[in-house]
Chains A and B, each alone.
Chain A
């Protein structure tokens, strides 16, 4: 069983929205017709997006951290949006686990968007059908593209490589290794939806230097009873000469 998914590294995401614009560009140009996009330059722009980047502030000033949080369909292993669909337009592909909407069957009743706890289904207010991230299903299998480009548009666009793409059921895939070794987690695990997309947490690189490490304990001069006479922070020959 294959389950294609994204792994998003919150430690690396800088919140540039390149994935958002790239996603919109690819998916508004596809065979399914344009995504709604009203008043793009007006006071209240609105439209259908498959991917959003949100920003959160964690902590209280001055101990705050800014977290940029890209959010798209998580392609749940047990998607609550699929069984509620009255027409069968929403479905999860057996072959690769992508959750899709058949735009020709959807009646636009919005029940699936009610049944998604993550709010990632956005109705197209012009075509009146529910739309959502397709994991660029019209791109990842396109053999006319070079193999390196058969990836979702958002993954290709990310300038910091914060978005990994692959099969989370293959234990040796890049995404599985990242989830396993970097502490990948799922969103809202309390609802048992088993999201396939995972997030990698912020990770701190800290250097611990103990005081005794600042002094060279095994100084060979000590053996020869020729220890430095002056105070420990006095300038040495190295400090006053240069070449």
Chain B
């Protein structure tokens, strides 16, 4: 497939936003059961949720550039019964709304304790809204992943690992960002988030590597023989019916060399996993906020490369019909 930058930015940016919100909410959940100290409502939870909202909104704006007719985008919410894309179109504003509400309630202190247990754990109103937001966030990860995993003949994508990787890579980038954000607004949580970031990054490394290994040894079900229905093992295309290219040659081929593909793979593997972990570890130990921000920046650039490869690696069966001019 031809990697479209609008979709690369959409998926990576909302991944950061969703991950950041999950991280903020994780912090509040831990403090609700008194495993962590409660943080300042406005400075940490409120501002954190608003930063997450900015990333989600930036992703939404990026997605508009993918549409030929963005003025009709509202129609895209209608087919949620069958289309994962339609479900994503519903889930993304739902997440944004809940994150906004969660942030707003924290920012203005519109919070009330609904219930206190004997041990002192408090159920706050923001925690209820945050839980709904977390459920919507997981649903959005599922929708985003299933858009790709649901196309059964794109064999590189049609696999549960696609959904798992969207979930883990998005969450990972959000946790990396929250570590940097915490060093600015909630220094006592930096180590807590650092540990979680490391755990999620290592897990994401394992699952993304698993999908790379799986994709390297795919046996394609379609062949030129099934494509044109002629049983002969020596079939060569001599003409695709036109000479100047069409959407079939532009949208479905990445037009890059094997070497470029290979380099992108190693670049993203280094930029997304080990390098941010080193920056994170050094940043936490030296209490250096710019190193923590660098960890996020490096990882985000790596994720752009990762997403580029995710698209470029997918081999569409229609390409069998477009092998030669």
Contact = CB atoms under 8 A, between A and B. Distances in A.
Interface string B31-74: 00000000000000000000000000000000000111110110
Mostly helix, strand, loop or mixed at chain B's interface? loop
A87 B79 contact: yes
A52 B151 contact: no
A113 B252 CA distance: 10
Contacts of A20: 241
A11 B226 CA distance: 18
Interface in A46-70: 46-49, 52-60, 66-67, 69
Given A84-B82, A108-B69, A54 B229 contact: no
Interface string A2-38: 0000000000000001001000000000000000000
B227 interface: yes
A14 B218 CA distance: 37
Contact of A57 (B152, B226, B235, B321): B235
A52 B234 contact: no
A52 B242 contact: yes
B318 A117 contact: yes
Given A109-B67, A201-B229, A83 B1 contact: no
Given A71-B321, A114-B154, A49 B251 contact: no
Given A109-B76, A117-B318, A128-B68, A85 B241 contact: no
A117 B222 contact: yes
B124 interface: no
A107 B72 contact: yes
A122 B248 contact: yes
Interface string B10-44: 00000000000000000000000000000000000
B232 interface: yes
B227 to A, nearest CB: 6
A107 B234 contact: no
A67 B228 contact: yes
A86 B89 contact: yes
A107 B68 contact: yes
B214 interface: no
Interface residues of B, number: 57
Contact of B79 (A59, A88, A114): A88
A39 to B, nearest CB: 7
A1 interface: no
A123 B230 CA distance: 29
Interface stretch (A136-144, A187-195, A206-214, A226-234): A187-195
B234 A119 contact: no
A69 B72 contact: no
A71 B241 contact: yes
B79 A107 contact: no
A180 interface: no
A93 interface: no
Q: Which of A42, A43, A106, A189 has the most CB of B within 10 A?
A: A106
Interface in B146-176: 147, 150-154
Interface string B190-207: 000000000000000000
17 contacts: A45-B244, A46-B246, A52-B241, A55-B239, A56-B236, A56-B237, A80-B152, A87-B72, A88-B78, A108-B68, A110-B251, A119-B319, A122-B248, A188-B222, A189-B226, A190-B226, A191-B222
The 10 closest A-B pairs by CB, nearest first: A108-B68, A119-B318, A128-B68, A52-B241, A83-B82, A86-B86, A86-B76, A44-B244, A87-B75, A55-B239
